[in-house]
Structure 1
Amino acid sequence: MKILIIDDCEINVKVLENILSKSFQCEPVSYLNPLKAMDWCTNEDPDLVFVDYMMPDMNGLEFIEAFRKLPGKNETPIVMITADDDKKVRYKALEMGASDFLNKPIDKSELIARTRNMLSIRQSQKQLVNRADWLDAEVRRVTKDIIEKEREAIFRLSRAAEYRSPETGVHVMRVALYSKELAKKINLPSEDQELIFVASSMHDIGKVGTPDNILYKSEKLDQYEYALMKLHTLTGYEIMQNSTSRIMQMAADIAIGHHEKYDGTGYPKGLSGDKIPLAARICAIADVFDALTSERAYKKAWTTEQAIEELDRQSGKHFDPFLVQNFKTILPQISQIQAKYSNQKMSEMD
């Protein structure tokens, strides 16, 4: 352990070095000039500090005050050495952050006893810090494990919902990946990008409650049937609402908000502009783009150019204009996702 000694009297320094080096497994570091000692402290962490009170340039009180202001030095034990019995000096030293005192002339037995106590305190402090670091790392590990399990459960639930949907299974994956790329493009934090990726896969989970005769109908839905179809947004929200999980909270926002329109003409609440959750606005673009560029039983796939033209036409109406403009800049990434997760390739893998 490192013991720092600051005293302008070289004889006092030598006495302290001799006693401490023989009595403890330590590395005494000594300075006659307190200013040089302070410079050393800016880059080093002593385990115990002995500082004289009466010194030129900077006295013991000033040194203690400056030392305590250095990062990570608020818990280091400091013993002030003084021949002054003035209680006001000692009270001031305690206010500045002194841990203990030694009177001059120094008594060897007292020095050893006080040093042993201070080093024991320092060792306990280090053990507490190490324990706290270990606990922090363990909490992070367990939290990561929980998030991974939660993420797996969500994707499995999404896959289950796919069996109730006429869309292909890879639609959910593409929408999730498109949403993540768009979130990245607008510089959302990496944690939020990952949340959107997972949560957007649940955008149509409410279709588990949609009747088959409506879900699989190839003709245009009548007014009543369309009203029932729109309920999937509320069903999805009800499935995931009131969760303490950030993923589920965002998934609930996306489920209820991905059919809202920027101009307020969407459903189920008729929200407009920024009142629509950002994650839902992102997912809406990803969902529509993938629907347009995918083949369905009732339509052929649109080209990317045609789909982008439609996004432009609906910019400010259906979609957030800012997000539309940013989506158009990530088309190379979108094309890569389409190639990797095409319906044909996925069917060949089955």
Structure 2
Amino acid sequence: MYTEVPGAVVDDDGALVHLGNPVAEQRALAAGTALTPLDDRRVIAVTGEDRLTWLDSLTSQALASLAPGESTETLVLDPHGHIEHAASVLDDGETTWLIADRADADGLLLWLTRMRFRLRVAPRDASAEVAVVGGAPAALAGIGVAAPAGVPLVWHDPWPGVTVGGHAYAADDAHPGAERDWAEAIVPRAELARIVECAAAGELALAGRDAAEALRVAAWRPRRAGDVDERALPHELDWLRTAVHLDKGCYRGQETVAKVHNLGHPPRRLVALQLDGSGTVLPEPGAPVRAGDTEVGAITSVARHFEQGPIALAIVRRTTPVDAALTVDTDDGPVAAAQEVIVPPDAGATAGVPRIPRLSRRAASSA
């Protein structure tokens, strides 16, 4: 699809990775002058009168009263509170639209289909009809967004705000995600083809997946693809902010969510890493993170940011000291990694989470 766009590089699945200059693409995405086809997303549509109360009963977010056009996100947990699936959620008054990572979509749809019972719900894969395009809301304003029920299907990322019923573990002051204005539009497949044609003609600026991922990592924004393994709890990723409602009724995994939040501490925690940029090799996801000779965690996401250089998200043991000198394994040897606390070691509502002072990147860059 992208072969006519100058500089386009695609992966084996045909997804747009970059257009030859990921740094410039990041700047354009951040400034709202480019948009990116999110080929690594798929869309599930759920129709039926019971769709919202049904989804509310199954997942971590309060969805029963979701208003048309309101954006939120939710998680499907296993009985022990581990994350199985994640989805961005938007309802138009007739259909609930779920945006999921491509690798997770089949499993999510299969699980939803099995959980229908006798309720008036009908989940289906809508990816053959629609695609997802991301960017700042201003960049998406000029495209033909799908609106089958009269409500434009634009999902506005609530991160890093704390939604009703949510809870923040990371310090609110100068959270880097506050500088990221992100939305994802569901568009007809024909509109995606038109967007690509306009980009090929130089009438519209595109950015690739690498640029979008770099902005996400810099915002400490968790994602099902990459940051979640079979042991991941929402607390470990600071995902109680936007994907969990702590005061809603029962759902699978809810008991663990409440116990960890109110009575204990998550066993691991998400950290941001500023990587030594003197080398040319970035660590791979899954690369061990070490404190001295001891392996304390692993990289989940990594990127080269247009301002910060090489950065990463990693999951480490809760007990890893916040001032520990960390290194990350790469093919060229260990790389030094400066830790930034996202989830504090004593995270938990009753633990009195401290507010850790953190200088705003924007303020630092202007000093």
Higher relative CO (Cα under 8 Å, sequence separation at least 6) belongs to 2
Instruction: Calculate the TM-score normalised by the size of structure 1.
Output: 0.23
Q: Greater helix percent: which structure?
A: 1
Instruction: Give the TM-score of the pair, scaled to structure 2.
Output: 0.22
